[in-house]
Amino acid sequence: MNLLKQTFSADQTCFLDVPATSIKELIPRIVDQLVGNGRLPADARDHIVQGLIDRENVVSTAIGHAVAVPHCYLESLTEQQIIFVRLNDGINLRAPDGTPTRFFFFLFGPTGEAAAHLDTLALIARLMSDDEFRYDLGEAVSVQDLGWALERALGREAAEPLPKPQVAEGLQRTGKFAGGIIADVQRRWPHYIADFKDGIHSKSIASIMFLFFACLAPAVTFGGVMAEETNGAIGAVEMILASAICGTVYALLSGQPLIVLAGTGPLLVFTVTLYKNCQRLEIPFLPTYAWVGFWMSLILITLAVTDASVLMRFFTRFTDQIYAALISVIFIYSAVEALTGIFHNLDERQHHDTALLSLLLALGTFYIANALLRFRNSRYLLPWMREFLADFGPTIAMTAMALIAVRLHQVYLDTLRAPETFGTTSGRDWTINPLAAPMWVRFAAIGPALVGTVLVFLEQQITARLVNSPDHKLQKGEAYHHDLAVVGGLIGVCSMFGLPWQVGATVRSLNHVRSLAFMEESLPGDGQRHDRILHVQENRITGLVIHLLIGLSLCLLSVLKKIPMAVLYGLFLYMGVISMKGNQLFERLSLWAMDSQLYPAAHYVRRVPNKVIHKYTALQLGALAVLWIVKVSVIGLLFPLFIALLVPGRLIAGRWFEPAHLAALDADEIPEEEDNAWA
In this model, does residue 203 exceed pLDDT 80?
yes
pLDDT band for position 364 (cuts 50, 70, 90) = very high
What kind of fold does domain 2-159 have according to CATH? Answer: Mannitol-specific EII; Chain A (3.40.930)
H-helix or E-strand spanning residue 361: helix 352-374
> For 158, what's the count of Cα atoms within 13 Å in the CB-facing half-sphere?
6
The dihedrals phi and psi of 594, each to the nearest 5 degrees, come to -110, 145
Greater pLDDT, 418 or 54: 54
Greater pLDDT, 528 or 189: 189
- Give the three-state DSSP class for 645: coil
Query: In the prediction, which pLDDT does 675 show?
Result: 44
DSSP 368: H
pLDDT tens sequence across 481-515: 999 999 999 999 999 999 999 999 888 898 899 88
The residues near 322 (Cβ < 8 Å, ≥ 6 apart) are: 585, 620, 623, 624, 627, 646
d(C-alpha 663, C-alpha 123), whole Å: 31
| Pairing outcome for strands 101-109 and 67-68 | parallel
d(C-alpha 463, C-alpha 546), whole Å: 19
Query: In the prediction, which pLDDT does 672 show?
Result: 46
pLDDT band for position 122 (cuts 50, 70, 90) = confident
d(C-alpha 519, C-alpha 532), whole Å: 5
Report the candidate in 564, 554, 628, 577 with the shortest Cα–Cα distance to residue 373.
577
Amino acid at the residue 153: A
Greater pLDDT, 476 or 640: 476
Residues 603-631, mean pLDDT to the nearest whole number: 87
In this model, does residue 166 exceed pLDDT 80?
no
Is the distance from CB of 512 to CB of 211 less than 8 angstroms?
yes
Q: Which residues of 539-560 are buried (b: 16+ CB within 10 A; e: fewer)?
A: bbbbbbbbbbbbeebbeebeeb
Query: In the prediction, which pLDDT does 165 show?
Result: 47
- Say what percent of the chain tops pLDDT 90: 31
Is the distance from CB of 582 to CB of 297 less than 8 angstroms?
no
User: Taken in order 423, 424, 428, 433, is the CA torsion positive or negative?
Assistant: negative
In this model, does residue 309 exceed pLDDT 50?
yes
In this model, does residue 523 exceed pLDDT 70?
no
Which of 242-251, 289-298, 517-526, 598-607 has the weakest average pLDDT?
A: 517-526
Report the candidate in 275, 274, 267, 270 with the shortest Cα–Cα distance to residue 230.
275
pLDDT band for position 674 (cuts 50, 70, 90) = very low
The packing angle between helices 565-580 and 506-515, to 10°, is 80
In this model, does residue 228 exceed pLDDT 80?
no
Query: In the prediction, which pLDDT does 390 show?
Result: 81
What is the chain's mean pLDDT, rounded?
Answer: 85
Cα separation values, 336 from 341, 486, 495, Å: 8, 35, 33
d(C-alpha 484, C-alpha 303), whole Å: 8
pLDDT tens sequence across 408-453: 888 888 876 666 677 787 888 899 999 999 999 999 999 999 989 9
Greater pLDDT, 224 or 627: 627
| Pairing outcome for strands 101-109 and 81-91 | antiparallel
What residue spans define the domains of the chain? Answer: 2-159, 179-581
Query: In the prediction, which pLDDT does 673 show?
Result: 44
Q: Distance from first CA to last CA of the chain, Å, rounded?
A: 37
Question: 3-state SS of the chain: helix, strand, coil percent to 5?
Answer: 65, 10, 30
Is the distance from CB of 473 to CB of 538 less than 8 angstroms?
no
The dihedrals phi and psi of 114, each to the nearest 5 degrees, come to -60, -30
The pTM score is 0.78
pLDDT band for position 289 (cuts 50, 70, 90) = very high
In this model, does residue 115 exceed pLDDT 70?
no
Greater pLDDT, 394 or 241: 241
The dihedrals phi and psi of 72, each to the nearest 5 degrees, come to -150, 125
pLDDT band for position 525 (cuts 50, 70, 90) = very low
In this model, does residue 362 exceed pLDDT 90?
yes
- Give the three-state DSSP class for 17: strand
Which of 272-281, 424-433, 508-517, 661-670 has the weakest average pLDDT?
A: 661-670
Q: Which residues of 203-219 are buried (b: 16+ CB within 10 A; e: fewer)?
A: bbbbbbbbbbbbbbbbb
In this model, does residue 235 exceed pLDDT 80?
yes
pLDDT band for position 529 (cuts 50, 70, 90) = low
Give the range with max mean pLDDT: 118-122, 500-504, 598-602: 500-504
User: Taken in order 143, 63, 90, 522, is the CA torsion positive or negative?
Assistant: negative
